[in-house]
Chains A and B, each alone.
Chain A
């Protein structure tokens, strides 16, 4: 069975500092990994995905994530946080080796960037 863990409910970071939002996953096969962000009163917005190839994936708004197969992790990072990055972040996984197109989501991490 697939599962996703986001070990931190809340991450606080000062504006201008680097940020990391952690995600670890478990799948029986090989993963497709995704990050989504939810701003207040908005739907989930796609940030980036890892399908294959380079382990470092770059996405929207300056975010990037690194796929680490040995640690089964896909942490989201940004070199310099903005106050506008404050939102709820969800990591999601799909097992590419098993048919089934629904995501398995993590519980979400609330990011607060302090001015």
Chain B
């Protein structure tokens, strides 16, 4: 089975520009998560989808970040306008079940650099 894929792998943009990250979860996984790792620090939760619904978006840093999952398949995370502190690696993950015991399968991440 194909794993979680993310596009692009790297993105370099200027402050004030817009960037859209895409995540394709493992087929059949209803649960989709976004995480971010900034400056080599811990990986922080951003939000969680169950199918197309936002289950928990408590980790979204501010309203410059917008996540969507239309149709409950792939997801996008848009940053508009980007700021310097948004630089980091954005990970997407998916899991099969709703319970907390299920491991999440991670994509390779998108490295975002805002200059």
Residue on B nearest A39 in the bound complex, by CB:
B108
B43/A96 in contact, CB under 8 A: no
B103/A34 in contact, CB under 8 A: yes
The verdict on A43 contacting B4 (CB below 8 Å), with A90-B43, A102-B56, A107-B42 known, is yes
Q: Is B106 engaged at the interface, CB distance under 8 Å to the other chain? A: yes
Interface centre among B33, B42, B44, B56 (most CB of A within 10 A): B42
Contact of A103 among B99, B104, B107 (CB under 8 A): B104
Q: Which residues of chain B are within 8 angstroms of A96 by Cβ–Cβ distance?
A: 100-101
Contact of A43 among B40, B41, B108 (CB under 8 A): B108
Q: Is A44 engaged at the interface, CB distance under 8 Å to the other chain? A: yes
Q: Is A104 engaged at the interface, CB distance under 8 Å to the other chain? A: yes
Q: Is A71 engaged at the interface, CB distance under 8 Å to the other chain? A: no
**In whole angstroms, what is the CA distance A41 to B44 when docked?**
19
Q: Which residues of chain A are within 8 angstroms of B59 by Cβ–Cβ distance?
A: 102
Residue on A nearest B99 in the bound complex, by CB:
A101
How would residues 80 to 96 of chain A score, 1 for a CB under 8 Å from any chain B CB and 0 otherwise?
00000000001000111
Q: Which residues of chain A are within 8 angstroms of B105 by Cβ–Cβ distance?
A: 46
B106/A102 in contact, CB under 8 A: no
The verdict on A101 contacting B100 (CB below 8 Å), with A41-B108, A107-B41 known, is yes
Q: Is A100 engaged at the interface, CB distance under 8 Å to the other chain? A: yes
20 example contacts (A-B, Cβ-Cβ < 8 A) are as follows A4-B42, A32-B100, A34-B103, A43-B106, A43-B107, A43-B108, A43-B109, A44-B43, A46-B105, A90-B43, A95-B100, A96-B100, A100-B100, A101-B95, A103-B43, A104-B45, A107-B40, A107-B42, A108-B42, A108-B43
Query: Other CB < 8 Å A-B pairs besides A96-B101, A103-B104, 13 of them?
Result: A32-B100, A32-B101, A42-B108, A43-B91, A43-B107, A44-B93, A95-B100, A96-B100, A101-B99, A102-B48, A107-B41, A107-B42, A108-B42
